[in-house]
Amino acid sequence: MRLILLGPPGCGKGTQAKMLCRDARAEHVGTGDLLRDAIRRETSAGIEARREVDAGHLVPDEVVNLLIGERFGRGDRPSRFVMDGYPRTLPQAHAFDSILSGVGMALDGVVMMQVRDELIVNRVSGRWSCPKLGCKATYHIDSNPPARPGFCTDCGTGLVQRADDAPATVGERLVIYHRDTEPLVPHYEKAGILIRVDGEGDIGVVGLAIRQALATRGLL
Ligand SMILES: [Zn+2]
């Protein structure tokens, strides 16, 4: 099983990727973990990434590609994997295609979790969490509200919202997603490996839909 999981920010693809990897004994490949690992090992991608991060910059495409290239160039490269958060642009998708073909691998499928923008905004901007160390309970105003509005049910601390989850920020992230990541859909559709899945249900329902779609294609 060699997969990419695609979907808008806040669609829950990280959670789905983890569950899928656990069930299918595949490696969950996320750029955040790879980045931390490369920085610790001081690989050439790690050193370059470190320089960008220290300068307060986002890690550029080329460095992210280098990071992925290092991971798949190693002898212990994953033979079964689910990519989460990479590739997120068309140049990255092209780079990943050549990284894989360079080691004689091919993707089996690209799962596209489809969730409408309105739903993402509602889901993400309704998230609140408890800032108290050792509690960190999370809530959602619609699906999992605290007993007393604005306060943690477990410890009574006032709830806070992550800056990333503010409605304006979510809107910006969606704009970037439509502009930069959606062009991957026709790319993988042309390759005949795009698998569309309804991503609007709860975690369990969506997880089941993904498994069924993969099983239908003999990938699970
Ligand atoms: Zn709390």
Give the pLDDT confidence score for residue 46 in this predicted structure: 95
Q: Ligand 1 center to residue 36 CA distance, Å?
A: 29
User: What positions carry a catalytic annotation?
Assistant: 13, 88, 127, 162, 173
Give the pLDDT confidence score for residue 168 in this predicted structure: 86
Q: Ligand 1 center to residue 158 CA distance, Å?
A: 8
Cα–Cα dist 152/163, whole Å: 19
Cα–Cα dist 137/89, whole Å: 34
Give the pLDDT confidence score for residue 125 in this predicted structure: 85
Give the pLDDT confidence score for residue 179 in this predicted structure: 97
Q: Ligand 1 center to residue 144 CA distance, Å?
A: 14
Q: What is the CATH code of the structural domain delimited by 2-115+181-216? A: 3.40.50.300
pTM: 0.87
Cα–Cα dist 118/28, whole Å: 28
> What residue spans define the domains of the chain?
2-115+181-216
Instruction: Give the Å distances, CA to CA, from 109 to 87, 112, 159, 196.
Output: 13, 10, 40, 10
Cα–Cα dist 68/99, whole Å: 8
Which residue is it, tokens 């656990």? 22
Tens-binned pLDDT, residue by residue, of the chain (220 aa):
999 999 999 898 999 999 999 999 999 999 888 999 999 999 999 999 999 989 998 889 999 999 999 999 999 999 999 999 999 999 999 999 999 999 999 999 999 999 999 999 988 888 899 999 999 899 999 889 999 999 999 999 999 998 878 888 899 999 999 999 999 999 999 999 999 999 999 889 999 999 999 999 999 8
Which residue is it, tokens 């998708």? 93
Give the pLDDT confidence score for residue 165 in this predicted structure: 82
Q: Ligand 1 center to residue 202 CA distance, Å?
A: 24
Cα–Cα dist 18/84, whole Å: 9
Instruction: Give the Å distances, CA to CA, from 152 to 19, 136, 144.
Output: 28, 9, 12
Q: Ligand 1 center to residue 126 CA distance, Å?
A: 17
